[in-house]
Amino acid sequence: MSKEKVMKVVSLSRPLFIGISILLVTGIKTAKAQNWAALPPYNTLWPLWSPALSPTNASTGLPTPLVTSLTPATVLPAQPGLTWDPFRREPWLLYNTPLGMAYYDPLTGIDLWPPGILINQITGLPITLTLPANYSALPPTLVSWLAANVPAANWSYLVAYPTYASRTSTLPRPTLSSLLTPTALLL
């Protein structure tokens, strides 16, 4: 093979090699990407795939949950938050109230956090979920579920809020415009 033909093969192969290298690197990165982080004390999963709920940490370059735990006293900097027990079909949408954090369940509506299934009924202590080994790579919440449930949850929260607000509460009543939309959770 002449030197000219070798150079032609090399010059044609270079873009292909670079393209394959990029695909391999991004594929490995995607395969190792975490979609969920477990938060104490219940080990429910917090969405790392939502930039609004897990913004990128400037020093690590990784998505970081807005909160470090999900207790009744947790104050969410953005509402609704979202957490999921991977053994259930639907996640819970989380909200602040003067009485503590509340959650929306499509079947039961708004109630104070935590749901009864996360509390040991005999001791009253939190039940810590045993998560599957691959929990961090479980798929994100379906866009269709968010589109169908976030608006309903936001309205339910606004309607239920007065029942959780005490007469002495100095917290301003939330407005619809103060709540995240399905699109805001995703972008």
Q: Specify the DSSP class assigned to residue 174.
A: P
DSSP letter string, 89-151: SS-EEEE--TTS-EEEETTTEEEESSPGGGB-TTT-PBPPP---TTGGGSPPPPHHHHHHHHH
Both ends of the chain: CA-CA distance in Å?
A: 53
4: Cβ contacts below 8 Å, ≥ 6 apart: none
90-146 tens-digit pLDDT? 999 999 999 999 999 888 899 999 999 999 999 999 999 999 999 999 999 999 999
The pTM assigned to this predicted structure is 0.80
116/62 Cα distance (integer angstroms): 33
Question: Which one, of 180, 169, 158, 174, lies nearest residue 99 by Cα?
Answer: 169
Question: Which one, of 182, 50, 160, lies nearest residue 95 by Cα?
Answer: 160
Angle CA(37)–CA(102)–CA(84) in degrees, nearest 5?
Answer: 30
139-176 tens-digit pLDDT? 999 999 999 999 999 999 999 998 888 766 666 788 89
Question: Which one, of 41, 125, 38, lies nearest residue 84 by Cα?
Answer: 38
Angle CA(17)–CA(21)–CA(27) in degrees, nearest 5?
Answer: 145
Q: What share of the chain is helix, strand, coil (3-state, %, to 5)?
A: 35, 15, 50
Assess whether pLDDT exceeds 50 at residue 26: no
Residue 79 near residue 96 (C-beta atoms within 8 A) = yes
pLDDT band at residue 2 under the 50/70/90 scheme: low
